[in-house]
Structure 1
Amino acid sequence: TVRSSLCGSVRALISSLRSPLFRQHRKSSFLIHLCIALCIYAILYFWLHVDPRVSTTTDPGTLQALSVSEDTYSFRAKRFNAYVVNERFRSGPGEFGRGVDAGISESEMQRVNDVDGYNSHACKQIALDRSLGNRPAKECLAINYPFKLPTASVIIVFFNEPFRLVMRTVFSVVNRSPPFLLKEVILVDDGSTQELLLGHLSDYVRENWPDGIVRIVRLQKRTGLIRARLEGAKAATADVVVFLDAHCEATYRWLEPLLYRIHQKPDAVVVPAIANIDRFTLKVFRTDVRYTEDGWLSLRVGSFAWDGMFIFEHPPRSAVTKRRSNTDTIESINMPGGLFAMRRDYFFKLGGYDEGMEVWGGENLELSLRIWQCGGSLEFSPCSTVGHVYRANHPYKFPGNKDYNGYNTARVADVWMDMYMDNFYLARGDLKGTDHGDVSTRRQIRSDLRCKSFQWFLDNPAAHKFVYSRNRLGYGSCCTTEGHCLLRGNDGSEYRKQTMSLLLTPSRVTVHSWATLFALTDTGLLRKDWNCVRLRRAGGPLNSVWVFTPHIVDLEICPLEELEEPKQREWWRAWVADQMKRIEQRQISHPEQGFQAVQTTNQRGAHFRWLYDKIHGKLINAQTGYCLDGIDGQRPTPKPCVDDAPSQSWHFSHHG
């Protein structure tokens, strides 16, 4: 590139100025320093002035694709150039993605958080077109994207969304999307009632985007997020539809990687890396698109819990290492419903959204499964980043207390999960046998597209997905004979945390839920999806056994690569067989002390391993020989084994 060539020339010049030949002439010292200063100035001038500005003219083919005149395109190009040149010189609250301390009391912060779901005071202090410091990795910046890429329609649905959040989303999209790629921004008003979002919004859009690049589609009545997005897709006229939530901020060079990948692979659906925008300060955090020392990509991709809720996960190593370049996209088994791009014709070829779904929830999982099972691919781009405000409350509310997410996800399980829908009902037992509407149309789409089975999905893109009902010693709810069941602690709203507490239900589980869903593997791991029940010392180092504090159990991310390797599996089988013999022999001579015969081990990961005796229900930790005990009815604790103790007798609702 021109920039790299200039840098090389400057480095060569500086090197020559420092050569022995120049050092011999001390009188030229001033000249040398002057030349170096001029070189540095040239670098700074180049960096400040040769930005990714675009030509203010373009070819007739591009004008036709954008459906604009030469004058309109020139206007858009000048606006884009003005912003990219001036962005680095901006100053003020929140600029460069910084957070803002609104200076409000803790009680007022709690109030606005409860009402608005974010800090509206900070939002008012930040310019709607603020600058962002979040830039892609240097490998991404080095990519020269072709000029001829598909055009994009960005679709933003809102219902009584804060005006400033919506406008900040729009400004970021228009200001950071090359005019030869962005055809339109479509704001879909799903029946808002706030005055700012009615007449005032229309006037504001006309004044700020007189070229018509932003237009509003107003629905006659409220339909819900899913159907509103579908209306936006119908109104779109570009090659690619890009769906964004109404509380996002697009960063530098966000659009090109999405369109480039779709240009390469038209049946690819691409999701940007998602940067968290702090709801209290509106600080834009940098995305964690980086590589660890052993080459592990720390970018998170999408997955799902068996109750259908979206979760983030680190991609399996196989998905990372099979890529040819660090800038290549990486496969994901689920998408966050609010940020993704795909060809418009492909969207409708796949069947659009399920119009039998209501309001919001489940549509992202349904579309993700349909993409994979019907021949496409779902991928995250490490070179595209969009910031997102994770609000404390949900804006898509309808009157009544209906569980729309559960209703919609039951439709997904019915149509796409085949025999594995039992795993969904293990996590959502309250939905079993309930009505979720007519799904015959969606089944017909699956048949017409000749889509693959859910078994294929689990064997291929989701090969790393934990399935409760597959090759387990026991699964479902895990309860003592006294009626206390294992329960995932409510340590926060995030589905995936590094460490979580392990609790007990006050009484026996009669309706299965995700929080009480556990499984015991044939390698002795007591799992809750990506977490395993782990024994450790209270207050000491996580894996320490050499401190004199009580043992406790909690839930920790399973170190599967370490614990599931062939040698470890072989050791575990041999150890279990040996312990069962020892227990049997002890019970002959000492019937009430059989389980005290377990010989503990310091094998790697032994604090994660649990020996299970189905007859007596004992769960025995391999590192300590202690039995899991639920005697206090609040929190399970490891204690010395007592053969006939009912609080140490655990049984699963389902057996493998």
Structure 2
Amino acid sequence: MYACGKYCSPRRCGFYIIAFLICQLVFIVIFMRSDRYDDIYASELLAYKNVSYLDWRAFISQTPETTEDYYQYNIELSNALGLIRKLPVTRHSSCTTRNPILPPPLEANVSVVISFHNEARSMLLRTIVSLLLRTPEDHLHELILVDDGSQRDVTLLDDLKRWMGGVFGSRQRLGLIFLRNEERMGMIWSRNRGASLASGRYVLFLDSHCEVNDGWLEPLLERLAGNANLAVSPLLDPIDPTTLSYRKGNEMLKGGFDWSLHFHWLKRQLASGERLEMPYQSPAFAGGVLMMSRDWFLRLGSFNPYLKIWGGESIELAIKLWLCGGQIEIVPCSRIGHIFRRRHAFDFPSQFDQQLSPAQEIYLHNSKIIAESWLDEYKNMFYALRPAARRIPLEHTYDELQRMRTERQCHPFDWYLRHVSPELRMHFDELSATGTLRNEDRCVHARHKDSQLILASCYLSDITQWSLLRQSGQLSTHREFCLTVGFGMRIALEPCGRNETARRSQRWMRLGTRLMHAETHLCLDNPLKERLEMSTCRSHAVSQSFQFALEMEGRT
């Protein structure tokens, strides 16, 4: 009351309180009725498309009871959202004012392959229905659904087949193919299976937790009609896994990857005269959504069949496309919403190495295939950053991996660095050395919980990878912390300095296998087990010998 009396009259404060309560009540009513609104929107849209409406609640009521953590998105909210919802317009206004020039449907029909494993019914259904209702019927040839051995919901595919038969059964032109793997084969194998059975001119791979937006297909078909060896991706609008809010994607990002063969979004620069809504080339694409000629996909060998379960397939296909005569474009006038989950919502089968998790083993296995197949001499960068990959066995020879490159007369990987991904080449050129930093049988490691520097087994799955920068002399981790010598000759990790003054305490020089701090002229030393300190440089001192996994230039 004191605060109210000080800043406004009691009557005015009372008005604000009542207004606030009314707003809260309105918000609650809207939220409680949102599923009803979505049902009305869905029924009206279905009627407009001459499709029957069946209550979808009976279908999703069979969803097994699980926690939100199981799906890695808000399952309760997904169930309440409705069959299909109205999405915001996220593409540029110019995309809606021009009509794409499309070839006849028989020359540009599309087969859509959706592979899923333990997906929630409401999310899967929203993906399918948004696709069918927002895609021109003449160009949508068939939908191929592959249940990759879902475990808790074994009747999902049969129930889905019955529901879709009742709702979309009147669509004579639409082919529906339902496949189930009795045991889990993985997304890569399942997508290849779907593509091999497809009969459309183009094949679209779509994740099972997406929502397609209006007018998504036409801009992609227009680009593909002009280049048979092109692969295209819509610009992905992120759907928040917690709130399921649909947000506008960023046109200033392109797909890429690092030397550990992890996918990353990279910033791009607009060329002179280039507009945001124009299609642009990308070194790679996110694996969830891409479209290309089915014939071209099969001639490239599909997704590499030696890859296991999930992971790396989009990078492998991207490199293969670029090096063997293809191109990749992101088309901002095409928008599809996609949930980027914070971590895997499924388990990986156990492999052979008990020191690694199954997910890490699968990643290293698939990445090793990519490195051995495509990176040429640059594969040493991958092994320097991921030494545990050397222990991962492959079930085929390296000659097999190279055969297709020879048959198709593909470019060497250096061509990719020069013409497609200068960022990756730049990162290579700016390093003097990289990888693990070994002293005898142990490696310098920054603990994740407190960044304390220790010497630990070089075979830890999360062993620190170091990079000695050529220009600045800084010794950096991948998290952009640099090895610093501070007050009292104390060694620590600090954020890497951006100016000359900040960099001075972080500059190191190579003297043979020693690391000399440029400012103090002292050397990194390991006089006692798991202890690092600075001491006078001594030639041939074993305790001062630190070797990187990969050195790019000779040591002084």
Shorter chain as normaliser: what TM range? Answer: 0.7 to 0.9
8 Å Cα contact 2:475-2:506 kept in structure 1:
no
Report the CA distance between 1:505 and its aligned residue: 5.3
Report the counterpart of residue 521 of structure 1 in structure 2: 469
Report the CA distance between 1:370 and its aligned residue: 0.4
Which of 291, 297, 317 pairs up with 1:347? Answer: 297
8 Å Cα contact 2:431-2:467 kept in structure 1:
yes
Change (3 A) 1:527 1:80: farther
Structure-2 separation of matches of 1:441 and 1:608: 49
Report the CA distance between 1:136 and its aligned residue: 0.4
SS across alignment from 1:306: coil
Letter in 1 for 2:280: I
Report the counterpart of residue 511 of structure 1 in structure 2: 459
Which of 114, 138, 146 pairs up with 1:156? Answer: 114
Structure-2 separation of matches of 1:287 and 1:633: 50
Superimposed CA distance per residue, residues 71-90 of structure 1 (whole angstroms, 9 cap, x where no aligned partner): xxxxxxx9679279xxxxxx
8 Å Cα contact 2:466-2:478 kept in structure 1:
no
Report the counterpart of residue 474 of structure 1 in structure 2: 433
8 Å Cα contact 2:303-2:313 kept in structure 1:
yes
Report the counterpart of residue 308 of structure 1 in structure 2: 261
Letter in 1 for 2:78: C
Which of 366, 381, 395 pairs up with 1:437? Answer: 395
Change (3 A) 1:361 1:643: same
SS across alignment from 1:172: helix
8 Å Cα contact 1:186-1:216 kept in structure 2:
yes
Structure-1 separation of matches of 2:246 and 2:527: 47
Are 2:81 and 1:120 equivalent residues in the alignment? no
Report the counterpart of residue 253 of structure 1 in structure 2: 215
Superimposed CA distance per residue, residues 153-178 of structure 1 (whole angstroms, 9 cap, x where no aligned partner): 22110122111111111111112222
Report the counterpart of residue 130 of structure 1 in structure 2: 85
Structure-1 separation of matches of 2:157 and 2:263: 32
Which of 201, 210, 224 pairs up with 1:239? Answer: 201
Alignment of 1:352-367 (within 5 A): 352-367=302-317
Superimposed CA distance per residue, residues 581-617 of structure 1 (whole angstroms, 9 cap, x where no aligned partner): xxxxxxxxxxxxxxxxxxxx55xx8579634253652
Report the counterpart of residue 542 of structure 1 in structure 2: none
Structure-2 separation of matches of 1:515 and 1:134: 45
Which of 277, 286, 299 pairs up with 2:239? Answer: 277
Report the counterpart of residue 216 of structure 1 in structure 2: 177
8 Å Cα contact 2:117-2:147 kept in structure 1:
yes
SS across alignment from 1:165: helix
Change (3 A) 1:192 1:484: closer
8 Å Cα contact 1:186-1:217 kept in structure 2:
yes
Letter in 1 for 2:195: A
Structure-1 separation of matches of 2:431 and 2:258: 18
Superimposed CA distance per residue, residues 57-111 of structure 1 (whole angstroms, 9 cap, x where no aligned partner): xxxxxxxxxxxxxxxxxxxxx9679279xxxxxxxxxxxxxxxxxxxxxxxx9x8
CA RMSD of aligned residues (A): 3.9
Structure-2 separation of matches of 1:468 and 1:166: 40
Are 2:371 and 1:418 equivalent residues in the alignment? no
Are 2:123 and 1:165 equivalent residues in the alignment? yes
Report the CA distance between 1:467 and its aligned residue: 7.0
Structure-2 separation of matches of 1:634 and 1:208: 67
Report the counterpart of residue 285 of structure 2 in structure 1: 335
8 Å Cα contact 1:484-1:630 kept in structure 2:
no
Report the counterpart of residue 365 of structure 2 in structure 1: 407
Give 5+ residue unaligned stretches, structure 2: 1-43, 51-64, 352-357, 485-489
Alignment of 1:620-635 (within 5 A): 620=518
Report the counterpart of residue 82 of structure 1 in structure 2: 48
8 Å Cα contact 2:114-2:146 kept in structure 1:
yes
**TM-score, normalised by the number of residues in structure 2:** 0.73
8 Å Cα contact 1:504-1:635 kept in structure 2:
no
Superimposed CA distance per residue, residues 461-495 of structure 1 (whole angstroms, 9 cap, x where no aligned partner): 112205776564332224679966254858xxxxx
Moved more, 521-530 or 135-144: 521-530
Change (3 A) 1:267 1:513: farther
Report the counterpart of residue 618 of structure 1 in structure 2: 516
Structure-2 separation of matches of 1:371 and 1:217: 29
Letter in 1 for 2:177: I
Which of 329, 342, 348 pairs up with 1:379? Answer: 329
Letter in 2 for 1:301: K
Change (3 A) 1:443 1:125: same
Structure-2 separation of matches of 1:421 and 1:271: 27
SS across alignment from 1:352: coil
Structure-2 separation of matches of 1:328 and 1:514: 40
Report the counterpart of residue 75 of structure 1 in structure 2: none
Report the counterpart of residue 36 of structure 1 in structure 2: none
Structure-2 separation of matches of 1:167 and 1:629: 60
SS across alignment from 1:516: coil
Give 5+ residue unaligned stretches, structure 1: 1-77, 85-108, 290-298, 491-501, 537-549, 564-600
Letter in 2 for 1:229: R
SS across alignment from 1:456: helix
Change (3 A) 1:399 1:642: closer
Letter in 2 for 1:336: A
Report the counterpart of residue 452 of structure 1 in structure 2: 411
Report the counterpart of residue 462 of structure 1 in structure 2: 421
8 Å Cα contact 1:533-1:608 kept in structure 2:
no
Letter in 1 for 2:100: Y
Structure-2 separation of matches of 1:308 and 1:626: 36
Superimposed CA distance per residue, residues 282-310 of structure 1 (whole angstroms, 9 cap, x where no aligned partner): 11122123xxxxxxxxx322122323222
SS across alignment from 1:426: helix
